[in-house]
Structure 1
Amino acid sequence: MSEGDDLVRVLATLANPHRLRVVAALAGGRNYVSDLARQLQISRPLLQVHLKKLEAAGLVSASLELSEDGKAMKFYELVPFDLRLTPQLVAGIAPTLTEKGPEQ
């Protein structure tokens, strides 16, 4: 995958309001799925769809942990990123774009 395709995938991933809200919620620190779903007022299945897309784009990471009562809990946290989009950046990576573009 090219650098240009990676940028397209990240931008496409962040172009969704639910995913932007997930990123905003995780900016305060890692959290588990059920708590995030309550905080964002969306269903866990819908949240998991968005978390998987964020994870595929390299924007979040997940870890499975056991609670004190033995319940498996999946925690998500942001992978540090700093996205600065400038005309010069776009001009520099445009030649690396594949014809088809990344699959989404």
Structure 2
Amino acid sequence: MIRMTYAEITGDRLLALLEALANPHRLLIVSILSRERKYVSQLARELDMSRPLLYMHLKKMEKAGIVKSTLELSDDGKAMKYYELVPFDLPLNQEMIAKAAESLTIKPKGSGS
């Protein structure tokens, strides 16, 4: 399990995690993958979502470190891409956010920094 402490979480990492989770489709993906890993076609059917759209969501989640993928061959020789959740524990409170904000490399427009 990835357990992030105050010292380990940077502003950019926190922003990537929150952006990756700030979507109802991605929350559903987390919910499904929290039970078991799935291959893309199976996950797309469960979500009633096109594979290209699903890949877009999974790419954002993988970049944030929330999911990981493996490519496996089925018994009949088909390549199957499986996704699984990377277990995480993110202690989110005002102190952690304030500390992480100090290390942001991406500054909001109009912040004067």
State whether TM-score is above 0.5: yes
Corresponding residue pairs, total: 100
1:77 corresponds to 2:84: yes
RMSD: 1.4
Offset at 1:99? Answer: 4.0
Offset at 1:18? Answer: 0.8
CA distance in 1, matches of 2:81, 2:69: 7
CA distance in 1, matches of 2:71, 2:107: 35
1:96 corresponds to 2:70: no
CA distance in 2, matches of 1:100, 1:65: 41
Given residue 75 of structure 2, which amino acid in structure 1 is its aligned partner? E
Cα pair 2:70 2:82 within 8 Å, conserved: yes
Which stretches in structure 1 are left out of the alignment for 5+ residues?
none
Q: Which has the larger radius of gyration?
A: 2
Given residue 25 of structure 1, which amino acid in structure 2 is its aligned partner? I
CA distance in 2, matches of 1:85, 1:92: 11
Counterparts of 1:1-80 in structure 2, within 5 Å, are: 3-80=10-87
Cα pair 2:12 2:106 within 8 Å, conserved: no
Q: Report SS of the residue matched to 2:19.
A: helix
CA distance in 1, matches of 2:42, 2:106: 41
Q: Which runs of 4+ in 1 moved over 3 A?
A: none
Which stretches in structure 2 are left out of the alignment for 5+ residues?
1-8, 109-113
